[in-house]
């Protein structure tokens, strides 16, 4: 096992990784921007180094400076967390070239899944179902219009290098397509440096279900069940749970097998997630693969009683998995909600200083939190400040614990999305498990309009 690990991230995920490292007696190195000098992850780590000015491009995305710190501190490995550089091919490659162990898959595998268009081709070759669409970049509006007429409206226009809903748009007709193509292409070029666009048939009101996979260097691959991640705002998840309340055992078995085939086909090693869209008839289609730890990994930990960060560290150290597919069973039900510093009506960020923070306690309640009373929420970074995770023997018990915990959660000084979360998880459709990707539009936004 490693003696010293640098965590190339910030906030709650940096704290999460540090916690496991400390339990394993691994020395931790944190990085921080000038804006994060007083952050909790800096206080938690054994060592901490300033990585630059507040903007991410000058700090948490500064590969040269991060590698300098790794060398200066004597770190042997780098854990990228999620977001930021976690799926950056150049960063993974540079870490390896510098003699560091990148705690994740190889740069080559990250690259193979980084382009959604290439990932579609790869998954099709692996025998994983994909949504009907194109297998090559769409050159211009004229070609896009021709494809849309063949697939039939509505269609999904997507950026090949996209993520977080950026560069993605549902298009209902040719007039909308002409406007959407150019706008999304420019947006994708601006955010990802790649304006490549592709198109897929639209699946109405789907469920977003993903499979957590873990694989070691010895060829062992274990699917750690699935997570339902359908409740989203602006194509970003806000509520996740495991297992899915929607899919049948038959669908689950097929989805897990497809995920194992996919991982074996690309030679994937470490923790990763394969995401699917599932239609009303439980047909499932590959959406994308995340070659890193997911924000929502705690719900999988709660139902499997595993520490996924520990498993990542062991795999990176070339150790075999300490469990098998047969030895892991689902235990109960877990739900996670993401607490954002944002206006619950507009979803716009709400920066400021947290004057009061009181986290609820109780049986089955877990927190992954990056802030405390007195913490400043700046406009430089993602506005997610914490995650509330609950576990229960049944989904009904987990829902009740979640509702009570949200009611007891106290944050002052900034706005949060807790009112939105409470309206969501107390809604009868959520309690019934009817959580499609249109949930917010169908059930939350109408309630919001009525109160104005």
Catalytic residues: 292
Burial (CB < 10 A; 0-12, 13-18, 19+), residue 412, is middle
**205 contacts 278 by C-beta, under 8 angstroms:** no
Q: Which residues of 262-284 are buried (b: 16+ CB within 10 A; e: fewer)?
A: bbeebebbbbbbbbbbbeeebeb
H or E element that contains 28:
strand 27-33
Q: Are strands 365-369 and 270-278 parallel, antiparallel or unpaired?
A: unpaired
DSSP label of 319:
P
DSSP 151-179: H-SSEEEEETT--TTTT-EEE-SHHHHHH
Q: Give the 3-state secondary structure of 236-286.
A: EEEEEEECCCCCCHHHHHHHHHHHHHHHHHHCCCEEEEEEEEECCCCCEEE
Query: At which residue do the structure tokens 């952050």 appear?
Result: 39
Quote the tokens at residue 84: 């930021």
């Amino acid at each position: 096992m490693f003696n010293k690990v640098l965590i190339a991230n910030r906030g709650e995920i940096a704290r999460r990784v540090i916690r496991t490292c400390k339990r394993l007696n691994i020395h931790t190195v944190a990085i921080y921007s000038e804006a994060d000098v007083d952050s909790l992850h800096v206080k938690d780590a054994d060592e901490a180094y300033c990585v630059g000015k507040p903007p991410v491009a000058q700090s948490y995305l500064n590969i040269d400076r991060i590698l300098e710190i790794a060398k200066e501190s004597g770190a042997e490995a780098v854990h990228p967390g999620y977001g930021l550089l976690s799926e950056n091919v150049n960063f993974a490659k540079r870490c390896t070239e510098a003699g560091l162990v990148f705690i994740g898959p190889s740069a080559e595998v990250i690259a193979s899944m980084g382009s959604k268009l290439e990932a579609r081709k790869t998954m099709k070759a692996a025998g994983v179902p994909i949504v009907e669409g194109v297998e090559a970049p769409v050159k211009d509006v004229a070609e896009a219009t021709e494809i849309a007429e063949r697939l039939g409206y509505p269609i999904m226009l997507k950026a090949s290098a996209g993520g977080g809903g950026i560069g993605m748009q549902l298009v209902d007709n040719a007039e909308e397509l002409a406007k959407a193509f150019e706008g999304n292409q420019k947006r994708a070029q601006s955010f990802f440096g790649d304006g490549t666009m592709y198109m897929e048939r639209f699946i109405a009101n789907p469920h977003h279900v993903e499979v957590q996979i873990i694989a070691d260097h010895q060829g062992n691959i274990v699917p750690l069940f699935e997570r339902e991640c359908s409740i989203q705002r602006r194509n970003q998840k806000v509520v996740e749970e495991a297992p899915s309340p929607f899919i049948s055992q038959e669908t689950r078995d097929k989805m897990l097998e497809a995920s194992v085939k996919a991982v074996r086909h690309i030679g994937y090693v470490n923790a990763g997630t394969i995401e699917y869209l599932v239609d009303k008839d439980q047909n499932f289609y590959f959406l994308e693969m995340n070659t890193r730890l997911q924000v929502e990994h705690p719900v999988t930990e709660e139902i499997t009683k595993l520490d996924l960060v520990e498993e990542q560290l062991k795999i990176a150290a070339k150790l075999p998995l300490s469990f098998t597919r047969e030895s892991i069973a689902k235990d109960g039900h877990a739900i996670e909600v993401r607490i954002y510093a944002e206006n619950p009506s507009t979803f716009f960020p709400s920066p400021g200083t947290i004057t009061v923070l009181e986290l609820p306690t109780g049986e089955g309640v877990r927190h992954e939190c990056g802030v405390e009373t007195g913490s400043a929420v700046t406009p430089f970074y993602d506005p997610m400040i914490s995650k509330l995770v609950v576990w229960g023997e049944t989904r009904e018990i987990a829902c009740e614990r979640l509702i009570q915990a949200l009611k007891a959660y106290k944050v002052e000084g900034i706005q949060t999305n807790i009112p939105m979360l409470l309206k969501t998880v107390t809604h009868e459709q959520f309690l019934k498990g009817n959580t499609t990707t249109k949930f917010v539009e169908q059930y939350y936004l109408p309630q919001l309009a009525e109160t104005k």
